[in-house]
Amino acid sequence: MHEFELIEDSVLTALTPLKAEGVKALSAYAGQLEGEALELMDLAGRFPCVYVAAGGLTSETANKTDTIDTSVVVVIGDKNVRGGDKAARGDGQSPGVYLLLERVKTLLHRQRIIPGFLPLVRQREYPALYQPAQGVCVFMAVYATRCMK
């Protein structure tokens, strides 16, 4: 199994509790939020969602030790950032991107979830697509880890 597949599968398993909290889609990212024909309102129908994609991987060899540094990107989408009950145009049901970011952080940050790798460490969170008037808010969270073989 390639490291990317191991990382994505391990992170998805760790994030499984989000399904019980109302996340509609939890899977490896395969371009679900891309495409020329994809309209903003089509995106909102997929929310709340969490997608996982392995990031860059660098490998160094010193003597008999291979050191692998890698990251995982978590894509979080919902209709608003603060949740349906707090949003001006809320639907009363969406958890909101901020709450999902916090839940992901609780499940991943400083957690040893990938066999053979050090605990994941949160590096960055940022908005990728933010159009609350259309009910589309997508944020990214980047976590890093390392393995020595």
Q: What DSSP character marks residue 117?
A: B
pLDDT in tens, 46-65: 889 999 999 888 988 888 88
Q: Mind listing the domains of the chain with CATH numbers?
A: 3-148 (3.30.2000.10)
According to DSSP, the residues that pair with 62 across neighbouring strands are 65
Mark out the alpha helices in the chain (DSSP H runs): 3-14, 40-44, 97-108
pLDDT in tens, 121-147: 999 999 998 887 788 889 999 999 999
pLDDT of res. 141: 97
Confidence band, pLDDT 50/70/90 cuts, at residue 85: low
Q: CA 43 to CA 40: how far, in whole Å?
A: 5
pLDDT of res. 92: 60
pLDDT of res. 62: 84
pLDDT of res. 148: 84
Among 22, 39, 35, 24, which residue's Cα sits nearest to residue 135? 39
pLDDT in tens, 23-52: 999 999 988 877 655 566 677 778 899 999
